[in-house]
Chain A
Amino acid sequence: MKALREYIDKIKPHFEKGGKFEKLHSVFDGFETFLFVPNRVTTRGSHIRDAIDMKRTMATVVLAMFPALLFGIWNVGYQHFQVTESMPEFWTIVGYGLIKVLPIVVVSYVTGLAIEFFFAQIRGHEINEGFLVSGMLIPLVLPPTIPLWMVALATAFAVILGKEVFGGTGMNILNPALTARAFLFFAYPAYMSGDKVWIAENAADATTGATPLAEAAAGNSDSLPDFWNMFFGFIPGSIGETSTALIIVGAIILLFTGVGSWRIMLTAILGGLTMGLLFNLWGANEFMQIPAHHQLVMGGFAFGVVFMATDPVSATQTTKGKYIYGFLIGFLGILIRVFNPAYPEGIMLAILFMNVMSPLIDHYVIQANIKHRMKRAKLNSA
């Protein structure tokens, strides 16, 4: 470690102003702060700094996603071998999953980070760690059969038009990972929904399986897997979203470290349940009759609520706003899912929609507070 520190100190002058690699300053800075805690001190304004800086926050989220990712890798293999004749031993399954999942993760990270570095250079910013999370979220919300160039294209689209246009990390209106997914969903629908994509297959045996959502939308609610299968995630689906159980593990990490907002998670689940129960009461078609708690473990609901809706940048900032925001995500997510079978993954659209609405919610919450306090001030002075 010491040798590394010394080496970095030795080459540092080249990257400072006037050095020969001055243009690459932000790249150097990015790597230096990635390896060591920055030794910069605050020179003005507030002098208290939290030990949790953006790198730590992001690392926590990536850590929270790991259970879901590991399970996803296994499940990709499991789903594949389930349609072939024999079920091999554990490590063969994991190996197969790795071959399918790892390239997607690598492509997502390489594309996204390349663009982030590029923009940091031309704008003279520091490199932000925001993409560490998005780069992991993007593979987790994609089906394992997605062609790699589509992953790269969607990542580029999400980073450039979802984030850099607005000024980079922290300025984005929409969740970048969901922007990538929405882009693929509308650009290449055949690869993102329908019953042909969800199991990684060999070219030889083109067997595929529908997700529970696709089955439900098609009206075959008899062929749905039972609650516990869906809860633990032994079902076809996007890489990271199938296992509600392990997403809950991630949620616990997020809640325990205070990185994710419990208000959003709780109200989103309540919203989903409310809508599910309303549909149960109505019961006009088979999809509506699916019990409300089944809706919560199907598709990307849990994943979206835990990892996407709580994104601190695109969510609402005010406490009251978070309740409204979360509730509407759950509510609208189930509503879109059931009412529009063409958009089975309603939670994605619901979160993106609420991302757009969140500044509005914040505005009214703040205005209401101002009004409230003005009233009190007048009462006191009168």
Chain B
Amino acid sequence: MAETKEKEPLFSTKNKKLLSEPMVRNNPITVQVLGICSALAITVKLEPSLVMALSVVVIMGVSNVIISLLRNMIPPRIRIIVMLTVIASLVVLTDEVLEAFLYDVSKQLSVFVGLIITNCIIMGRLEAFASSNKPWPSFLDGIGNAAGYGWILIVVGFFRELFGSGEVFGYPVFEKIGLYSIGYENNGLMILPPAALFVVGIIIWVQRSRHPELVEEN
């Protein structure tokens, strides 16, 4: 897919930026505040968070390439419906793969795999980037944004599982190091969806303290 007819190297500074920018400076969740819904819903445990993150990376990467390849053929007036069709097909594919190979996780994610279709990050990137850029940069952009979304999900999932259930990937860490025997109890708040907001809020706080230029003026 790497059509590099131009002289630009594969990982030029511009392309690297496409990957690195969404990690912190233009993170879909903490800066653009998109995709919050799934970040609240499926991050109770680490495993579903990880699977969700990977699914979104795959779907975004592929859909960005497809739309980018089709970008000159799609009539502008029906572009949204074409994008939706592409995403929906990919989501169905992903869902089938998950059900076949990761049935338990797929059960936990339930409707939220299907709802990747409505994840505004994907539509946003297709509309803003892929429909006016070449396939390779579009691919990087898709992967970058999905990874920016994914790492937040994984961090939130890690803390919620650790403090809410005392486990990491289902392994009872707190029990093994003997926290319960000295009177520790799992924090019920971390299992509730608002806990994800607290964790995301803390990530936002840390990010803006380190990058003051991100602080919005009002």
Contact = CB atoms under 8 A, between A and B. Distances in A.
Interface of A: 147, 149-150, 161, 165, 183, 186-189
**Is chain B's interface secondary structure helix, strand, loop, or mixed overall?**
helix
B189 A186 contact: yes
A187 B189 contact: yes
Contacts of B189: 183, 186-187
21 contacts: A147-B183, A149-B183, A149-B184, A150-B185, A161-B198, A161-B201, A161-B202, A165-B201, A165-B205, A183-B189, A186-B188, A186-B189, A186-B192, A187-B187, A187-B188, A187-B189, A187-B190, A188-B185, A188-B187, A188-B188, A189-B188
A147 B182 CA distance: 11
Nearest to B182: A149
A149 B185 CA distance: 10
Please name the 3 residue pairs, one residue from A and one from B, whose CB atoms are nearest each other, closest first: A187-B189, A186-B189, A187-B187
Nearest to A182: B189
A147 B205 CA distance: 30
Instruction: Give the residue among B188, B198, B202 with the most A Cβ atoms within 10 A.
Output: B188
Contacts of B183: 147, 149
B214 to A, nearest CB: 16
A147 B187 CA distance: 13
Nearest to B202: A161
Instruction: Give the residue among A165, A186, A188 with the most B Cβ atoms within 10 A.
Output: A186
A147 B192 CA distance: 22
Contacts of A183: 189
Interface string B188-218: 1110100000100110010000000000000
A353 to B, nearest CB: 14
A150 B190 CA distance: 15
Nearest to B198: A161
B168 to A, nearest CB: 19
A165 B198 CA distance: 11
A186 B140 CA distance: 42
Contacts of A188: 185, 187-188
Contacts of B202: 161
Nearest to B192: A186
Contacts of B205: 165
Interface string B173-190: 000000000011101111
